[in-house]
Amino acid sequence: MKGNLRWKIVLIVFALIIIDYIDRGLINTALPVLKSEFHISSFEAGIIGNGFTFGYLIMNPLVGYFLDKYGPKRVFSRFAIFWGAVQAINVFAFSAFYFIATRVLLGIGEAVGFPGVTKIVANWLRKDEKARGGTISDSGVNLGIVFGSLFMLGLFAIIPTKELAWRLGFLISGLLAIILAIILGRLLYDLPEQHPKISKEELDYILSGRENVNTKAKLPLSYWLRSKNYWGYMQGLGAQAGIFFGLFTWLPLYLFYARHLSLAFTLEYTALIWSFGFVGELVGGYVVDKLIKRNPNLGFKVGFAVSSLSVTIGLAAATLVSSPIEAVEILMITFFFLRWSGIQWAAPSFLVTPELAGQFGGHIGFWETLWGIVIPIVFGATVQVTKAYLLGMEILIGIGLIYFIGTVLVTSYRQIKVS
């Protein structure tokens, strides 16, 4: 028996990513109640809904350096405890400004999530396991979106006082993040060879298929900026994040207003679509790991080509059909393949050395957040001007081509040379 300590760690991270997206989704579900209770304007509601992205953008480049310098054991667990505490103190919220402040702080804490995944995957998994490790962790996004909405809706249905319901929702999700962060801090060590409880068989198995991790390094920004691989990968994934956040923000409204589904069907179909994304992400990680065994460069290119071309073709097809049910069915298939994008957290292990994985993951987070802020705003502006959703969907289709060009045509999944 090789042991499964590394997969226990991956599953704890997976659970934390679920809580991460539950925390993000709760505010959007509760906003209709909060707007009335605190007299929040539409402008303030928009800032509250996306407030975490501003903290995310600020902290992402920094948290990557912290992960490389101090290690994921201390950094990931402490940042997660911080974000859980910030979420929990929303139980005391009393104004729109309070929510804006806590949402920015939440983003600062949650910025550790995916750079942390990158670092743990680089340090703990063999080359032929990294795609699965990345997609398992990242697939928590899909479940978090589904569970977050259902959790708050359930509290509203069970607890008669809506003010108590949303406050309890924030408190429970924050405490769950803190508990999981403490468990991760106790279970995780920066490297498997440092862990006192790992079996010799599992350690030998990991080290036989993993790069050596020798020194902690900091790479000057100029090195990244001179690399074609850096620009191709970052902008390709930035485009992917623009599509993701565009759909995260606008898909329910698209189904409700453009496809004229009832509110109940909109919520059910949104959950179903994201559930297909969850299954697709796990399948994609397994398939790409098999391909990486033969040729890492080919494996990642195939995985990203499937993801990028599927979202481009799928969104185009969804806009062409007249039946709302057919549109939902197409979107289910589209999300199944779109979420193969979770391999993005495994690819850094092939583009940079493990000592630089945290920094590289921080750069990914920065570019993805930047695109993720801009694209939903652009989508919303097209809806405001045209009073329809077609142009916004067409913009996402075009961005899908940028995703393909950056991750498939420009990037070669070979290590960036460092002097």
The pLDDT value recorded for residue 72 is: 92
Higher pLDDT among residues 152 and 115, named by residue: 115
Look at residue 240 and tell me whether its pLDDT is greater than 90: yes
Indicate yes or no: pTM above 0.75: yes
Q: Which residue has the tokens 């998994």?
A: 125
pLDDT digits (tens, 9 = 90+) for 348-402: 888 888 788 888 888 898 999 899 889 888 888 888 888 888 999 999 999 999 9
CA distances from 214 to 65, 123, 355, 360 (A): 16, 11, 8, 17
Tokens (6 digits) for 38: 């605190």
Taking the alpha carbons at both ends of the chain, their separation in whole angstroms is: 41
Q: How far is CA 322 from the centre of its chain?
A: 31
Look at residue 109 and tell me whether its pLDDT is greater than 90: yes
Q: 17 near 138, Cβ under 8 Å? A: yes
* Cβ partners under 8 Å of residue 247, min gap 6: 396
Alpha-helical runs (H) found in 254-322:
263-294, 296-320
Closest to 341 measured CA to CA, from 313, 303, 311, 382: 303
Residue 415: strand, helix, or coil:
coil
Q: Which domains does the chain have, with CATH numbers?
A: 5-192+222-410 (1.20.1250.20)
Look at residue 257 and tell me whether its pLDDT is greater than 80: yes
* Cβ partners under 8 Å of residue 399, min gap 6: 239, 242, 243, 246, 375
* Mean pLDDT, the chain, whole residue set: 87
Look at residue 264 and tell me whether its pLDDT is greater than 80: no
Give the model's confidence band at 176: pLDDT under 50 very low, under 70 low, under 90 confident, else very high.
Answer: very high
- Give the whole-number percent of the chain exceeding pLDDT 70: 95
The pLDDT value recorded for residue 215 is: 52
Closest to 299 measured CA to CA, from 131, 158, 61: 131
